[in-house]
């Protein structure tokens, strides 16, 4: 049996040796989230206000989200090195900019008929960089596009919209549809005899649909609160900044020395699972303090991820490293 992200994360957090969740830091972060939501700074509206994101009235918005989140993994580079950039953007936003550029150039990138047979050369051109640094893991990205494109054509009449329709506005059902039909989204790990699900990209896809469509129409999910945080390599840095996380001395040394952790290693699983559980604790704290507006893990994750981007220099100056892993899952 595979434990859900929420269940698995709670078990890992209770056994973790390398990552400790600190109650005072959870409260400190929770108070900041309450302030952000109450002031209106943190809301689902923020998704559509980002220039590289589509609006819900674009006919290809769902297909765009599916392609982007199929490719949304592993953009990191060491802090002192130049990275991959597209139209001035880095990381995930560079990916968005590259897909938008391809659409402007009349590349049929949101069509599974095209990307189910895309070549490495074609994808390299779509993801071409402003710098000398190319997008990493190109061959893995090609494999992911082939896999999901063929699955859409074989099982869903070539449309991701048909996947979403099948869930009947139920986020948990959509999550299972995604991980059961598109293997590259099946982000699972073994931890001390337990099989746990993390499902970063599958959940962020649901979160992006929810945010893009502002919880309306095809983007409405009756159980959106069941979706957890998106455990990546950036969000944990914000948890460290607020004191919600503490790493063991051994893990800290590895991260400061840029040791690359393998996907599935105990330390890597603990960082990611504890990220999920910490955000669940923050959510519970925040919702006890809020009167009418309610927070979910998606909104909290948006804050954590944005905070890391906006305060990257201060976080690095404070000596809070991110863990490095080559993986298609985040």
Backbone angles phi, psi at 195, to 5 degrees: -100, 115
Q: Which two tokens stand for residue 104?
A: 């402007």
Residue 232: active-site member: yes
CA–CA separation, 255 vs 111, rounded Å? 40
CA–CA separation, 187 vs 197, rounded Å? 6
Cα angle at 167 between 63 and 57, to 5 degrees? 35
Residue 121: CB atoms within 10 Å? 10
23: Cβ–Cβ under 8 A, 6 or more apart, which residues? none
Task: Please identify which of the residues 69, 232, 301, 306 carries the catalytic annotation.
Answer: 232
Q: Which two tokens stand for residue 99?
A: 């897909």
Buried/exposed code over 78-114 (b: 16+ C-beta within 10 A; e: otherwise): eeeeebbbbeebbbbbbbbbbbbbbbeeebebbbbee
Residue 220: CB atoms within 10 Å? 14
Q: Which residues are catalytic?
A: 232
């Amino acid at each position: 049996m595979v434990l859900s992200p929420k269940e698995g994360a709670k078990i890992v957090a209770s056994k973790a040796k390398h990552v400790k969740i600190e109650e005072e830091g959870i409260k400190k972060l929770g108070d900041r989230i309450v302030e952000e939501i109450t002031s209106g700074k943190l809301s689902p509206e923020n998704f559509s206000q980002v220039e590289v994101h589509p609006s819900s009235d674009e006919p290809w918005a769902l297909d765009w989200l599916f392609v982007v989140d199929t490719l949304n993994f592993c953009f990191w580079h060491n802090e002192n090195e130049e990275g991959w950039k597209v139209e001035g953007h880095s990381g995930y936003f560079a990916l968005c900019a590259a897909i938008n550029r391809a659409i402007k150039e009349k590349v049929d990138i949101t069509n599974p008929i095209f990307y189910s047979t895309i070549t490495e050369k074609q994808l390299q051109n779509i993801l071409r960089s402003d710098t000398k640094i190319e997008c990493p893991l190109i061959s893995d990205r090609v494999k992911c596009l082939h896999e999901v494109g063929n699955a859409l054509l074989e099982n869903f009449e070539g449309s991701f919209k048909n996947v979403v329709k099948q869930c009947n506005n139920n986020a948990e059902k959509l999550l299972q549809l995604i991980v059961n039909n598109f293997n590259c989204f099946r982000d699972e790990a073994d931890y001390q005899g337990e099989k746990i699900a993390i499902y970063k990209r599958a959940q962020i896809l649901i979160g992006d649909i929810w945010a893009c469509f502002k919880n309306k129409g095809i983007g409405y999910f009756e159980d959106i609160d069941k979706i957890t945080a998106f455990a990546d390599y950036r969000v944990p840095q914000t948890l460290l900044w607020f004191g919600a996380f503490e790493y063991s001395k051994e893990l800290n040394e590895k991260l400061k020395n840029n040791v690359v952790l393998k996907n599935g290693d105990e330390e890597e699983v603990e960082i990611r699972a504890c990220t999920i559980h910490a955000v669940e604790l923050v959510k519970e704290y925040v919702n006890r303090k809020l009167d009418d507006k309610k927070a979910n893990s998606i909104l909290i994750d948006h804050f954590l991820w944005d905070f890391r981007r906006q305060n990257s220099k201060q976080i690095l100056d404070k000596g809070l490293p991110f863990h490095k892993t080559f993986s298609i899952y985040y």
